[in-house]
């Protein structure tokens, strides 16, 4: 019988489901070292945010087939390491949406009416009414950063309370915001105009410390900030200083850069700061939802069935995976690349299957392309199961075309995206049946492998331009791994793609743009 270890408090409903097919052991007090020592004995692990499933845990888990996260965020799981090890990671993208949205609203209301402090004061024997005069949310402006599942539900509740709604979400179609009665604005406008700001975005390099000293300086002195999403979105020291100096009126936080939070300058502040210990998903209902959702998936996978909310690639059925995996990698890479070229808010993605690929089932390839495109906005929340639905909700029109006659590679793929940067297209193929190559960018033929750090330029083909860019990168100590130039005509428009060993330092793009002949330059991360 397979064995499952549960290392965080999970509702009994989930344990009961797992027990149908496995021997289940609940051990919620393990140290990281104890987990590494124990994991080789288990086929599956089920966690919440309290357990860090690190690369070391994954590498020690020689029997592991699946990691189940009873919740949304998988930032405590090393998903790339699990994918590399062929271990499926599943989560419950919707099981705690309502709980988290209601907690954000509860924090907003409790902060506005000083409920925790008034309660503590009364229980200490005091009857102080004057000290706890609050503010109303009615007719106030709520700025929602991230109008996804939780942000949308917050919008619906806040609208019913008579609030005016703004949102910043660069990846969302205007139509979706309109349906919700929310005005989509740029980040600065949201920060400057809101009386309350609530965060519902993932933590990514782009969103880390989105709220910092500079952001606080733009906010109204009466504004209050709510974070029920992820720790690290707010610079907590800068928040403390902004409240002490009166730059903003207060904040309510459920999540912190370091959890469990044991010390913080915020502990020294009074009723203007409200803190809860990551309770967003802690309702009876949400815990039942996520436990059942994830336990069912673990059970199914242990029985050899597919999972419905796979975060990583092994979520596809084994035989589909085996045949198509290299093409799925190709489609995902091209989706990600064309998204970076076309800009946020792509409205249409055309997927053209060429050569032998035109004979294959296009659906998984389309899903992989959408997953690559949407990863820019949704990170681990997009998977092979939900990519099409997410694309539809974001108003992305998908067009599939086929060209079996094109035989320049045995099978190749062309993606064309309509976005704010215009209509952009990329093509790619497999070399030696596995290795991904980008073979065309817009109208320019090239041949480059994808890499984590790339610099791309659009320029005029002219003597000296390659040398100048190389010298410039050298001056910044950036090592070039490979370089390709594509052009249609001698001394005409051209594209240059450089794969780099090092990330590009700040300011270098501006320097590249100053070089004669360069029309555009941007960083691409694949």
Ligand X SMILES: NC(=O)c1ccc[n+]([C@@H]2O[C@H](COP(=O)([O-])OP(=O)(O)OC[C@H]3O[C@@H](n4cnc5c(N)ncnc54)[C@H](O)[C@@H]3O)[C@@H](O)[C@H]2O)c1
Contact of 321 with 99, CB cutoff 8 Å:
no
- List Cβ<8 Å contacts ≥24 apart for 34-43: 35/7, 36/60, 38/5, 39/5, 39/64, 41/3, 41/5, 42/3, 42/4, 42/5, 43/2, 43/3, 43/4, 43/302
Q: What is residue 115's three-state secondary structure? A: helix
- Indicate which residue of 25, 136, 178, 259 is catalytic: 259
Any contact of residue 197 with ligand X (CB under 6 A)? no
Any contact of residue 206 with ligand X (CB under 6 A)? yes
Q: Which helix (H) or strand (E) holds 370?
A: helix 362-378
Q: How many residues make contact with ligand X (CB under 6 A)?
A: 33
Among 70, 110, 255, 302, indicate the residue that binds ligand X (CB under 6 A): 255
Contact of 446 with 438, CB cutoff 8 Å:
yes
- Comparing CA positions, the residue from 367, 357, 353, 356 lying closest to residue 316 is 367
Our CB check for ligand X shows the closer of 280 and 355 to be 280
Any contact of residue 194 with ligand X (CB under 6 A)? no
Our CB check for ligand X shows the closer of 72 and 331 to be 72
The CA-based angle 317-323-329, given to 5 degrees, is 85
308 is annotated as an active-site residue: no
Any contact of residue 256 with ligand X (CB under 6 A)? no
Among 378, 387, 396, 448, indicate the residue that binds ligand X (CB under 6 A): 378
Our CB check for ligand 3PG shows the closer of 47 and 242 to be 47
Query: Which span sits near ligand X by CB under 6 A: 118-126, 228-236, 293-301, 328-336?
Result: 228-236
Beta bridge partners, 458, equal 495, 520
Choosing among ligand 3PG, ligand X, none, which partner's interface includes residue 151 (Cβ < 5 to 8 Å by kind)?
ligand X
Cβ-proximal residues to 327 (8 Å cutoff; 6+ apart), any chain: 357, 360, 365, 368, 411, 413, 430
Q: Which helix (H) or strand (E) holds 497?
A: strand 493-500
Q: What is Dmax (Cα atoms) for the chain?
A: 86
Q: Least CB distance from residue 116 to ligand 3PG, whole Å?
A: 20
- Indicate which residue of 230, 394, 437, 487 is catalytic: 230
Using alpha carbons, list the distances in angstroms from residue 27 to 31, 38, 435. Answer: 10, 10, 42
Q: Least CB distance from residue 281 to ligand X, whole Å?
A: 4
Q: What is residue 157's three-state secondary structure? A: helix
Choosing among ligand X, ligand 3PG, none, which partner's interface includes residue 333 (Cβ < 5 to 8 Å by kind)?
none
Q: Least CB distance from residue 380 to ligand 3PG, whole Å?
A: 10
Among 17, 72, 334, 358, indicate the residue that binds ligand X (CB under 6 A): 72
Question: Which residue has its beta carbon closest to ligand X?
Answer: 148
CA–CA distance, 70 with 85 (Å, rounded to integer)? 21
319 is annotated as an active-site residue: no
Our CB check for ligand 3PG shows the closer of 282 and 348 to be 282
278 is annotated as an active-site residue: yes
> Where on the chain is the footprint of ligand 3PG (CB under 6 A)?
48-50, 70-73, 96, 278, 280-282
Q: Which helix (H) or strand (E) holds 322?
A: helix 318-342
Contact of 265 with 240, CB cutoff 8 Å:
yes
Choosing among ligand 3PG, ligand X, none, which partner's interface includes residue 48 (Cβ < 5 to 8 Å by kind)?
ligand 3PG
List active site positions.
230, 259, 278
Residues that bind ligand X (CB under 6 A): 72-73, 96-97, 100, 145-151, 168-172, 200-202, 206-207, 228-230, 254-255, 278, 280-281, 377-378, 381
């Amino acid at each position: 019988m397979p064995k499952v270890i549960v290392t965080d408090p999970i509702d009994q409903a989930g344990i009961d489901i797992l027990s149908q097919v496995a021997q289940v052991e609940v051990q919620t007090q393990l140290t990281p070292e104890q987990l590494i020592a124990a994991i080789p004995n288990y086929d599956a692990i089920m966690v919440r945010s309290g357990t860090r499933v690190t690369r070391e845990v994954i590498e020690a888990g020689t029997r592991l087939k699946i990691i189940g996260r009873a919740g949304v965020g998988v930032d405590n799981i090393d998903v790339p390491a699990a994918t590399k090890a062929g271990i499926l990671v599943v989560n419950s993208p919707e099981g705690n949406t309502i709980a988290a949205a209601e907690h954000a609203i509860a924090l907003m209301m409790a902060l506005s009416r000083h409920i925790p402090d008034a309660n503590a004061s009364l229980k200490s024997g005091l009857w102080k009414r004057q000290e706890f005069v609050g503010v109303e949310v009615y007719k106030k402006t709520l700025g929602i950063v991230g109008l996804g599942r939780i942000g949308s539900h917050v919008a619906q509740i806040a609208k019913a309370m008579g609030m005016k709604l703004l949102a910043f979400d660069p990846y969302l179609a205007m139509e979706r915001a309109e349906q919700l009665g929310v005005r989509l604005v740029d980040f600065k406008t949201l920060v400057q105009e809101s009386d309350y700001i609530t965060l519902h975005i993932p933590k990514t390099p782009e969103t880390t410390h989105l709220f910092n000293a500079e952001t606080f300086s733009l906010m109204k002195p009466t504004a209050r900030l709510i974070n029920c999403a992820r720790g690290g979105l707010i610079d907590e020291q800068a928040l403390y200083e902004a409240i002490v100096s009166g730059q903003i009126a207060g904040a309510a936080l459920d999540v912190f850069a370091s959890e469990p939070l044991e010390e913080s300058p915020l502990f020294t502040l009074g009723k203007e700061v409200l803190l809860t210990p990551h309770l967003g998903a802690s309702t009876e209902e949400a815990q039942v939802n996520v436990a059942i959702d994830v336990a069912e998936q673990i059970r199914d996978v242990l029985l050899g069935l597919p999972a419905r909310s796979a975060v990583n690639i092994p979520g596809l059925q084994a035989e589909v995976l085996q045949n198509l995996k290299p093409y799925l990698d190709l489609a995902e890479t091209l989706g990600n690349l064309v998204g970076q070229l076309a800009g946020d808010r792509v409205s249409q993605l055309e997927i053209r299957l060429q050569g032998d690929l035109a004979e294959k089932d296009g659906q998984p390839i389309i899903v992989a392309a959408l997953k690559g495109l949407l990863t820019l906005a949704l990170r681990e929340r997009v998977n092979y199961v939900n990519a099409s639905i997410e694309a539809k909700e974001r108003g992305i029109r998908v067009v599939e075309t086929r060209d079996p006659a094109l035989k320049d590679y045995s099978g190749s793929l062309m993606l064309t995206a309509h976005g704010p940067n215009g209509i952009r297209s990329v093509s790619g193929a497999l070399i030696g049946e596995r290795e991904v190559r980008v073979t065309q960018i817009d109208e320019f033929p090239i041949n480059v492998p994808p890499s984590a750090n790339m610099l791309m330029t659009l320029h005029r083909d002219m003597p000296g331009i390659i040398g100048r860019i190389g010298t410039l990168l050298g001056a910044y100590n950036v090592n070039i791994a490979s370089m390709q130039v594509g052009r249609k005509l001698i001394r005409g428009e051209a594209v240059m793609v450089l794969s780099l060993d090092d990330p590009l330092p700040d300011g270098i793009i501006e320097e590249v743009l100053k070089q004669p002949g360069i029309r555009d330059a941007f960083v691409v991360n694949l």
